Chain A
Amino acid sequence: MNDQGTMGGKAMPLLLMAPALLLLALIFLWPWLHYGWLSVHASSLLTGLKAVPNGGANWQRLLQDGRFWQDALQTLRFAGLSVLLELGLGLLMALSLHRPSRGRGVLRALMILPWALPGTVMALGWRWILNDPYGPLNGLLQALGGRSYPFLASPGTTWAFTVLADVWKTTPFVAIVLLAGLQSIPRDLEEALRLEGAGSWTLLRRLQWPLLGPYVALAVLFRLAQAFGVFDLIQLLTGGGPAGSTESLALYAYLNAMRFLDFGYSATLMVATFLLVVALSLVWLGWMRWQGARG
């Protein structure tokens, strides 16, 4: 629709938008002003939970806080690997949903189910599946003649399974975005290539993957930002353990606020995480643009 000037200038549109924008400002913008202010104050049990200005002490502490840097690396590693696997598996899922067939609706519904269910619900489900020694995975190991393994007690396997659980839950989202991309490709192009004798692999490499570019960029951007804020899954599946080896930045900030009651430092961590998410998104967007300019 094009109704430029039909609402009597900008007043009417702005009036229509005002309630939503006010709520958005309260929920999305105000917290950052508040965090910014809090991050230059001491507000913890030591100050009786009152905010006392402390200059840059929180930020100085952040720079020297080994746990922060370790969590930042862990979060980055988690987000990077999860998103990479989600992209691969999501592409497979999208391709298999793209082929027309009977019962495709039910198939799609069942495949997106992990994405639609609450993360909290299955986080504990995974804890049962990985239980030592009674979970099904250990049951399988024992049936094969092995011994049960404490999957959630050694850093390596715990980390691998948090990634796996995240991939399980969010791959359907990536698949749906990529499926939209596949369906935007004109059928004639696919059929022309097929008539030339191209198989599925050639089709994917020469036609579908290049045209999926913007959809991949979008899915990865969204998933990177979300995975960098991972909280529900880690808190409930591992609690950040063993020995902090799966702790994410969001969980560290949460613990500072709710367990150590150090609101000043928690706010500092929030701001730092926010800046890292923005930086990560910009790097990804910049890289995609560079790729686009080059290709």
Chain B
Amino acid sequence: MMRILLLCWSLAPLLWQLRTSFLVGDVLVGEQSQPGLSPWTLANYRLVLHGDPSLIQVLLNSTVLGLITTLLTLILALPCAYGLHALRGHLQRSIHAGLVGAALFPTVLLFLSLLQVARSLGLANHLLALSLPYAALSLPFAILLLQAAINDLPPELEDAARLDGLHTLQRLRLIVAPLLTPALASTGLLVFLASWNEYPIALTWLSRSDRLTLPAAMGRIASSSVYTIPYGPYAAATVLGSLPLLLLVLLFQRWIISGLTQGAVKG
């Protein structure tokens, strides 16, 4: 019973968006649909797919940026986590504490400074340049998560590899990285989600409509007019923008949850 109530609570607002996305505008504002015509329509979807910018372009932007950010974050985080694991004493503890603080921090407060960096380096409107701040915002959590996973590996493995004469980078590449595949996958998924959902930095860095990410495009719809948000097309955009995430969550919920748990609790 409790489960059904909680499930309704989580899903009802989404299902309402789904319903809205298929309704013609007249019906949404309380009028009867024209006699003999169906109130259901695909017009909202057609509109967002052919709009300026096309939602396809927006989703493509978000996907490419998300993948690049994920790759960049993992490439930076893995050696860092390995180094942090090997480091001992005060330095390790201080860096660890700093990372925890950064992971907790509400990152929206950084946008003004980052915007000025972007302007002075000419990075505004470069979609892929966003992967630099995005990777940085995800790094603290990613490093903590991977470090927790490295701590869980049996120490004998590395001792054996060392006796075999492998140097540090070889051990990282040949022994540690393959064993961390599940943790890397969890981390990657969470980084991708964070990048897909980030709003304030995208809002301030991107102005050209063919460069917008999904949240920035949504924000633009909202601010285009306070009084007449085109709710039908907007709902269609919501549905299309949510589908990739719905798939990710359904397929990988186990990894997403274990990543969140490991990173939050052990980190």
CB distance from A10 to the nearest CB of B (A): 6
> Across the interface, do B2 and A96 meet the contact criterion of CB distance under 8 Å?
yes
Which chain B residues border A143 with CB–CB below 8 Å?
Answer: none
For the complex, give the distance between the alpha carbons of A26 and B80 in Å: 16
For the complex, give the distance between the alpha carbons of A191 and B69 in Å: 46
> Across the interface, do B6 and A93 meet the contact criterion of CB distance under 8 Å?
yes
Is A30 in the interface zone, CB < 8 Å from B?
A: yes
CB distance from A35 to the nearest CB of B (A): 6
Is B97 in the interface zone, CB < 8 Å from A?
A: no
> Across the interface, do B85 and A1 meet the contact criterion of CB distance under 8 Å?
yes
**Residue of A106, A230, A257 touching B112 (CB-CB under 8 A):** A257
> Across the interface, do A96 and B6 meet the contact criterion of CB distance under 8 Å?
yes
- Per-residue B-contact encoding for A148-185, CB less than 8 Å = 1, 0 else: 00000000000000000000100011001101110000
How many of chain A's residues have a CB under 8 angstroms from any CB in B?
A: 93
A201-253 at interface with B (beta carbon < 8 Å): 215, 218-219, 221-222, 225-226, 228-232, 235-236, 239, 250, 253
Contact A110 to B10, CB < 8 A, known contacts A218-B264, A232-B200, A232-B215: yes
For the complex, give the distance between the alpha carbons of A129 and B29 in Å: 13
Is B158 in the interface zone, CB < 8 Å from A?
A: yes
Which chain A residues border B13 with CB–CB below 8 Å?
Answer: 114, 122, 125-126, 129, 168
CB distance from B112 to the nearest CB of A (A): 5
Is B165 in the interface zone, CB < 8 Å from A?
A: no
Q: Name B73's closest neighbour in chain A (CB-CB).
A: A20
Which chain A residues border B109 with CB–CB below 8 Å?
Answer: 31, 229, 250, 253, 270, 273-274
- Per-residue A-contact encoding for B2-21, CB less than 8 Å = 1, 0 else: 11001101110110110010
B67-121 at interface with A (beta carbon < 8 Å): 76-77, 79-80, 82-88, 91, 95, 102, 104-117
For the complex, give the distance between the alpha carbons of A133 and B28 in Å: 10
> Across the interface, do A116 and B245 meet the contact criterion of CB distance under 8 Å?
yes
For the complex, give the distance between the alpha carbons of A10 and B20 in Å: 59
Which chain A residues border B36 with CB–CB below 8 Å?
Answer: none
For the complex, give the distance between the alpha carbons of A118 and B111 in Å: 18
Is A102 in the interface zone, CB < 8 Å from B?
A: no
For the complex, give the distance between the alpha carbons of A108 and B257 in Å: 9
For the complex, give the distance between the alpha carbons of A102 and B153 in Å: 32
> Across the interface, do B106 and A113 meet the contact criterion of CB distance under 8 Å?
no
Is B128 in the interface zone, CB < 8 Å from A?
A: no
A52-87 at interface with B (beta carbon < 8 Å): none
**Residue of B85, B112, B257 touching A112 (CB-CB under 8 A):** B257
Is A293 in the interface zone, CB < 8 Å from B?
A: no
Is B47 in the interface zone, CB < 8 Å from A?
A: no
Is A192 in the interface zone, CB < 8 Å from B?
A: no
Q: Name B196's closest neighbour in chain A (CB-CB).
A: A118
> Across the interface, do A30 and B238 meet the contact criterion of CB distance under 8 Å?
no
Q: Name A105's closest neighbour in chain B (CB-CB).
A: B253
Which chain A residues border B83 with CB–CB below 8 Å?
Answer: 7, 12-17
Q: Name B264's closest neighbour in chain A (CB-CB).
A: A177
- Per-residue A-contact encoding for B198-218, CB less than 8 Å = 1, 0 else: 011000100000000011001
CB distance from B108 to the nearest CB of A (A): 4
Is A144 in the interface zone, CB < 8 Å from B?
A: no
Q: In the complex, which of the residues B95, B112, B197, B231 has the most CB atoms of chain A within 10 Å of its own CB atom?
A: B112
> Across the interface, do A13 and B253 meet the contact criterion of CB distance under 8 Å?
no
Which chain B residues border A225 with CB–CB below 8 Å?
Answer: 104-106
**Residue of B14, B79, B246 touching A20 (CB-CB under 8 A):** B79
**Residue of B108, B114, B257 touching A250 (CB-CB under 8 A):** B108
Is A88 in the interface zone, CB < 8 Å from B?
A: no
CB distance from B43 to the nearest CB of A (A): 17
> Across the interface, do B84 and A180 meet the contact criterion of CB distance under 8 Å?
no
Q: Known pairs A20-B139, A105-B254. 18 more at Cβ < 8 A?
A: A6-B86, A16-B168, A20-B76, A28-B102, A28-B136, A31-B113, A31-B114, A113-B249, A120-B214, A122-B17, A122-B238, A125-B13, A128-B234, A179-B261, A222-B264, A253-B109, A257-B112, A270-B109
A-B contact pairs, 7 of them (CB 8 A): A6-B168, A10-B91, A30-B113, A113-B246, A118-B196, A226-B106, A253-B109
- Residues in B lying within 8 Å of A, measured CB to CB: 2-3, 6-7, 9-11, 13-14, 16-17, 20, 28-30, 76-77, 79-80, 82-88, 91, 95, 102, 104-117, 132-133, 135-137, 139-140, 143, 150-151, 153-155, 157-159, 162, 168, 172, 193, 196-197, 199-200, 204, 214-215, 218-219, 221-222, 226, 229, 231, 234-235, 238, 241-242, 245-246, 248-250, 253-254, 256-257, 260-261, 264-265
> Which 3 pairs between the two chains have the least Cβ-Cβ distance?
A229-B106, A31-B113, A16-B83
